[in-house]
Chain A
Amino acid sequence: MDMRPDPLIMMTTQAQAPTTTPTKVAAKNVNVYYGAKHALKDVSVDIPEKSVTAFIGPSGCGKSTFLRCINRMNDTVASCRVEGLIQIDGKDIYDPALDPVQLRARVGMVFQKPNPFPKSIYDNVAYGPRIHGLSKSKVELDQIVESSLRKASLWEEVKDRLNDSGTGLSGGQQQRLCIARTIAINPEIILMDEPCSALDPIATARIEELMEELRHNFTMIIVTHSMQQAARVSQRTAFFHLGILVETGSTSDIFTNPTDKRTQDYITGRFG
């Protein structure tokens, strides 16, 4: 174990060392192809539970592709082929006996582009809890909807128009609606693909506060193009480049003293 003092951890009050927590998601030699395009090359990584892991890297390097492997979203892409092993709690999630719909109830995802259902704001959030039978009564469902919208810091803006269509919201509001929809089903793992790219600094801070709160009970993986956001919210950071996982480490090491020159050049804004 790395015994060096962890500067970021010392500066904030985040207590436990992230490296000691058990693995929630394990990927071993994962390769992904879109037709002939080799999008992810031999990616192996352990993602610890109850923490935030950030995926960073230049556009097109395969971050979203890898994220989509973890809840088998790639199954829906016809040209996509996934090889290798991905385990959650030690169980192969590509096991043919496993139901992808059940998997996606455990692994929630917030997409890069907000994609609310063409339904009311209320129904967008209530949809998951309804199909998974998470509430026994209308009152209970109302509570889930309200608390999810509050956590996603959207409640105050929409509480008087819950029956309006979700697609009528602004881009940033739609994104927060999708976050509310994801957390409403209480998933074990939450995947977030650039969740704050359309949000103002206050909404961003609220989402980051939410991540900080959620990470005590959930495993979060976030893709972000903001180095500062990765440094703020995550305990571990993984850097992808051209389909390769170049470096994984504690966030404090990656942002103060990365091992690989490609990581350093990328995060400091230099030519690679």
Chain B
Amino acid sequence: MSEHIVKSYEQELAGLDDKISQMGGLAEQLVGEAFDSLASHNPARARATVASDATIDLLHRELEEQVILMIARRQPLANDLRQVISVLKVAGELERVGDLAKNVAKRAQAISGETHPKGLLTGLQHMTDLASRQLKDVLDAYAARNPERAMQVWRQDENLDAVYNSVFRELLTYMMEDPRNIGLCTHLLFVAKNLERIGDHTTNIAETVTYMTRGSLPEGERPKGDLTSSTLMSGPIR
């Protein structure tokens, strides 16, 4: 890509990308920390995680202001226009990812006193790993302006959905086995749902990368594997 004749314009565009990468790094970190604070029953760590979401929110607001100013002052066109619009969208998605991670950390605080059934955390750990990896990959695709890589992430979200389905079923089983598990399991169910939603935001970023680089959104329907909205467990009614 050739450079803009106006150097300050070039710098402003690069500045937007820097902030996205900063936000992305923080979001990734938050997702990992939120789960770790849950798994390690560490409420202090959970509180720190909740607090650092504020930084993401701040970056989001700064980016919004910068983009509005750039549209007013520079009237970007073509690939530049697609970049600034994409920055706005990606920043919004990352802000949501931050909120979801924060919510996981809040739940970690709420259930820090309870012992978790061992198997359950394995599924959630797996979801966290997948969600973090997907997020990292899509941010790399953004930075490298690589739509193929973004599309790969887009298609792979199915895997996260599949793990979510099995975690969902597992949690239902625990709840049916012993109603005393219901409080804990409900929190864990929301944690799983949050991780699944982080995957959805990641696919939105992947779509935005496609738009930014190619000027069009991906063709066709994304493969979706979340079946939980129609899942029912038949069991004894007590």
A-to-B contact residues, CB < 8 Å:
4, 227-228, 231, 255-258, 263-265, 267-272
Secondary structure of the B contact surface, majority rule? loop
B216 touching A257, Cβ below 8 Å: yes
B78 interface hit (Cβ, 8 Å): yes
Residues of chain B within 8 A (CB-CB) of A255 are 77-78, 81
Residue of A nearest to B85 (CB): A256
B3 touching A267, Cβ below 8 Å: no
Shortest beta-carbon distance from A49 to chain B in Å = 27
Residue of B nearest to A272 (CB): B2
Residue of B nearest to A264 (CB): B78
How many contacting A-B pairs (Cβ < 8 A)?
43
Residue of A nearest to B82 (CB): A256
Shortest beta-carbon distance from A232 to chain B in Å = 11
What's the Cα separation between A231 and B76 when bound, in Å? Answer: 12
Residue of B nearest to A253 (CB): B215
Shortest beta-carbon distance from B210 to chain A in Å = 12
Contact of A268 among B4, B215, B216 (CB under 8 A): B4
Residue of B nearest to A259 (CB): B215
A268 touching B79, Cβ below 8 Å: yes
B80 interface hit (Cβ, 8 Å): yes
Shortest beta-carbon distance from B145 to chain A in Å = 14
B216 touching A4, Cβ below 8 Å: yes
23 contacts between A and B (CB under 8 A): A227-B75, A255-B77, A256-B78, A256-B81, A256-B215, A257-B78, A258-B78, A263-B78, A264-B78, A265-B2, A268-B4, A268-B76, A268-B77, A268-B78, A268-B79, A269-B4, A269-B5, A269-B6, A269-B9, A270-B3, A270-B4, A270-B5, A271-B5
Task: Please classify how large the interface on chain B is, using the bins under 10, 10 to 19, 20 to 34, 35 or more.
Answer: 10 to 19
Shortest beta-carbon distance from A256 to chain B in Å = 6
What's the Cα separation between A270 and B13 when bound, in Å? Answer: 13
Shortest beta-carbon distance from A145 to chain B in Å = 37
B215 touching A257, Cβ below 8 Å: yes
Shortest beta-carbon distance from A217 to chain B in Å = 30
Residues of chain A within 8 A (CB-CB) of B81 are 255-256
A267 touching B77, Cβ below 8 Å: yes
Residues of chain A within 8 A (CB-CB) of B5 are 269-271
Hey, what's the 0/1 contact readout for B27-49 against A, CB within 8 Å counting as 1? 00000000000000000000000
Q: A227-B77, A255-B77, A257-B215 are in contact. Are A270 and B82 (CB under 8 A)?
A: no
Residue of A nearest to B75 (CB): A228
What's the Cα separation between A271 and B9 when bound, in Å? Answer: 13
Residues of chain B within 8 A (CB-CB) of A228 are 75
Residues of chain B within 8 A (CB-CB) of A265 are 2
Residues of chain A within 8 A (CB-CB) of B82 are 256-257
Shortest beta-carbon distance from A159 to chain B in Å = 36
Shortest beta-carbon distance from B233 to chain A in Å = 43
Hey, what's the 0/1 contact readout for B69-97 against A, CB within 8 Å counting as 1? 00000011111111000000000000000
What's the Cα separation between A264 and B3 when bound, in Å? Answer: 12
Residues of chain A within 8 A (CB-CB) of B1 are 270
* B63-122 at interface with A (beta carbon < 8 Å): 75-82
Q: A257-B215, A271-B2 are in contact. List 18 more A-B contacts (CB 8 A).
A: A4-B216, A227-B75, A228-B75, A255-B78, A256-B77, A256-B81, A256-B82, A257-B78, A264-B78, A267-B77, A268-B76, A268-B77, A268-B78, A269-B4, A270-B5, A271-B3, A271-B5, A272-B2
Shortest beta-carbon distance from B78 to chain A in Å = 5
Counting chain B CB atoms within 10 Å of each CB, which of A227, A255, A256, A272 scores highest?
Answer: A256
Residue of A nearest to B10 (CB): A270
Counting chain B CB atoms within 10 Å of each CB, which of A255, A258, A265, A272 scores highest?
Answer: A265
